[in-house]
Structure formats: C-alpha cells, structure tokens
Amino acid sequence: MSANIDREKCNERKTYAEIWPVEIDREKCDGCGVCVEICPMDILRLDENGKVYVKYDECWYCGCCELECPRKAIKLRLPYLVR
C-alpha cells in the first residue's frame, strides 16, 4: 500500500463513484493490488484502507480488472459518458 494517500482527494473521488467505469465491492476487495498493477490505463489505486478506488477518469472499459481480480471484487460497468 502506498504511503502517500491524500485522504481528502480519495473521499472526493468516492463521492462520485456512481460515474466510475467499475463497481467495487469493498467487502470482497482485500487490497491485493492485482488490478492496480495490470490496468492498461493505470487508473486504479488503493485508498487509506487498502481498498481499490478509481483515481483517474481514463478507463478504456476493457475489463481486464474484472478478468484478473482473484476475489471478483471489481466489475466493469462502463464510464458514465458511454453508458
């Protein structure tokens, strides 16, 4: 888990989770970081609780995160502008 987490910024991002391209099950996510590592656009990060969140609005909606997540905690929905 990265040490430099801007809590305020994370919370602001989470306020608008509705428009994120993915749905994240925060119960299932154990912060293994596989999706953070393999996302082709590199838009995912872990928050202060070690759970994944969408840091950058640059998703290509490929769904690699969903394909790779070992706990099925992340699911592609599509970015709001495309839905």
Burial string for 31-60 (b: 16+ CB within 10 Å, else e) reads: ebebbbeebeeebbbbbeeebbbbbeeebe
Length of the chain: 83
Nearest distance from C-beta of residue 28 to another protein, angstroms: 18
61: contact with another protein by CB under 8 A: yes
Does position 3 interact with another protein (CB under 8 A)? The reply is no
Among 41, 50, 70, 74, binds another protein (CB under 8 A): 41
Sites of contact with another protein (CB under 8 A): 37-42, 55-64, 66-68, 76-79, 81-83
